[in-house]
Amino acid sequence: MNETMTSTAIEASSGVSAPLEKVALETYVPPAKPSLIGLSRAEIAERLGAIGVAPTQRKMRVQQLWHWIYVRGARNFDEMTSISKEMRSQLEAHFTVARPEVAAEQVSNDGTRKWLLRLPSGDNLEKAHEVECVYIPETDRGTLCVSSQVGCTLNCSFCHTGTQRLVRNLTAGEIVGQIMVARDRLNDWADRDTPTGGRLVTNVVMMGMGEPLYNFEAVRDALLIVADNEGIGISRRRITLSTSGVVPNIIRTGDEIGVMLAISLHAVRDELRNELVPLNRKYPIAELLQACRDYPGSSNARRITFEYVMLKGVNDSLDDAKLLVKMLKGIPAKINLIPFNPWPGTRYECSDWDQIEKFSEYVFNAGYSSPVRTPRGRDILAACGQLKSETEKLSVRERQALRAMAMTD
Ligand code: SF4
């Protein structure tokens, strides 16, 4: 996050009940031997030029590397057998195809998997930070929930990540790296015969730790790589970026990335949304909805998802449902109701199931798709930010044991 972003985020959270302490964000320092993951084709060509690869060869080398990295999932240059041995050792001397290290892995009874990933800055492991990435398998798809920042400034009062201070923005490589790790761990590089057409990770949602639109450039560059159809090839219609409402970057998301949009709405009145999503003080509901109306490419076939966490006695009345339907009029929308997944220390409770059903029925009868998201991975605390906090409480020995498990199973 650059200085402008830092002050914007701080400004956005000022005046709320839990204001952010003004801390300088850390700057990412690349390791001495950088990873090629997350670089565009032009950037890879430039790096190749810097190590003496002739201009006439660069385009072909970039194509080969792209294929080995993003189609075959190669984890080192030795595997790239269509590249000459000499070239491979030259690449090896200067670069890696390293992904984030898996610090812990948990598998839920329902198949949800959660990874805690370690992200070093420079070669100093003391300076490593951790983010989470969650894989949610369903019959017709496998969704990977990806993080964009270490921590978050926005202090949404129902969100566990909001209790963790923002440390730094992830790089494009660290964002793409989360998908690479998931495919590695799920053995998801080889084509196979499955109902999802061969791959386990079929969908990506930017809904993990952090506010993606406060790390716009890195998120954009990463998602363009994820969507590239000569590589990972996950279609833009299967990639969803979720924002708490950074209005100025919403239109840019449509123009420059072209992915599906989700809005963390959670309340229909500014007074309540100011409390649940403090960024609302800067970009109130009316401005946010106007940006949604103007979102490039939205249509009945490409609806905007409005996320609505169900909090008992807070935002779950039928009056709330009525107002919700009224204010979304004219926006191609679907409403995703999320039963609240409580975390230690939260002041909220999940709405009663009856109430969730009544709310959902009202919204459905008004013509909106209103699926209730089935709680997943509750036994492994799959709501974002929870594995990180749990792991922070472990001793060094316990952390080593978790890491060893992650390496061997
Ligand atoms: S909901 Fe998203 S934006 Fe809000 S605190 Fe949590 S991670 Fe940050």
Does residue 212 carry a pLDDT above 80? Answer: yes
Query: Domain check: are 62 and 210 in the same one?
Result: no
Is 17 inside a domain boundary? no
Q: What pLDDT is recorded for position 170?
A: 95
Query: Domain check: are 377 and 255 in the same one?
Result: yes
Is residue 133 part of the annotated active site? The answer reads no
State the Cα–Cα distance between residues 340 and 160, nearest whole angstrom. Answer: 11
User: Please, which pLDDT band fits residue 399 given cuts at 50, 70 and 90?
Assistant: very low
What is the percent of the chain where pLDDT is above 70?
Answer: 83
Is 151 inside a domain boundary? yes
User: Please, which pLDDT band fits residue 27 given cuts at 50, 70 and 90?
Assistant: confident
Query: Domain check: are 109 and 90 in the same one?
Result: no
- Structural domain range at position 54: 41-94
pLDDT (average), residues 296-319 = 94
Query: Domain check: are 59 and 150 in the same one?
Result: no
Helix (H, G, I), strand (E, B) or coil at 192: coil
Query: Domain check: are 237 and 304 in the same one?
Result: yes
pLDDT (average), residues 167-175 = 94
For residue 76, the domain's CATH number is 1.10.150
Q: What pLDDT is recorded for position 378?
A: 65
pLDDT (average), residues 244-271 = 97
Ligand 1 pocket: which of 161, 207, 384 to mutate (most atoms within 8 A of CB): 161
Q: What pLDDT is recorded for position 364?
A: 94
Between 308 and 405, the more confident residue is 308
Give, using CA atoms, the residue closest to atom 4 of ligand 1. 156
Last residue of a domain, one of 94, 112, 127: 94
Query: Domain check: are 106 and 78 in the same one?
Result: no
Is 214 inside a domain boundary? yes
Q: What pLDDT is recorded for position 25?
A: 78
Query: Domain check: are 345 and 227 in the same one?
Result: yes
Phi, psi for 47 (deg, rounded to 5):
-65, -40
Query: Domain check: are 128 and 195 in the same one?
Result: yes
> What contacts 89, CB < 8 A, 6 or more positions away?
77
Where helices occur in 235-352 by DSSP H, the ranges are 248-252, 270-276, 285-293, 318-327
Is 199 inside a domain boundary? yes
Answer yes or no: are the C-beta atoms of 205 and 145 closer than 8 Å. yes
- What CA–CA distances, in Å, run from 187 to 72, 161, 192, 239, 383? 11, 29, 10, 21, 24
Query: Domain check: are 117 and 161 in the same one?
Result: yes
For residue 170, the domain's CATH number is 3.20.20.70
Between 309 and 165, the more confident residue is 309
Is residue 132 part of the annotated active site? The answer reads yes
Q: How far is the CA of 342 from the centre of ligand 1 (A)?
A: 15
Is 23 inside a domain boundary? no
B/e letters for 241-268, b = 16+ CB within 10 Å, e = fewer, are bbbbbbbebbeebbebbbbbbbbbbbbb
Last residue of a domain, one of 59, 94, 129: 94
Query: Domain check: are 305 and 344 in the same one?
Result: yes
Query: Domain check: are 47 and 139 in the same one?
Result: no
Q: What pLDDT is recorded for position 304?
A: 97
Query: Domain check: are 90 and 133 in the same one?
Result: no
- What CA–CA distances, in Å, run from 396 to 151, 290, 390, 392? 21, 49, 13, 9
Total tally of structural domains belonging to the chain: 2
Q: What is the mean pLDDT of the chain?
A: 85
Pocket of ligand 1 (CB under 6 A): 152, 154-156, 159, 161-162, 209-211, 244, 264
**Nearest atom, ligand 1, residue 208 CA:** 7
Is 230 inside a domain boundary? yes
Answer yes or no: are the C-beta atoms of 48 and 62 closer than 8 Å. yes
Give, using CA atoms, the residue closest to atom 5 of ligand 1. 162
Q: How far is the CA of 150 from the centre of ligand 1 (A)?
A: 11
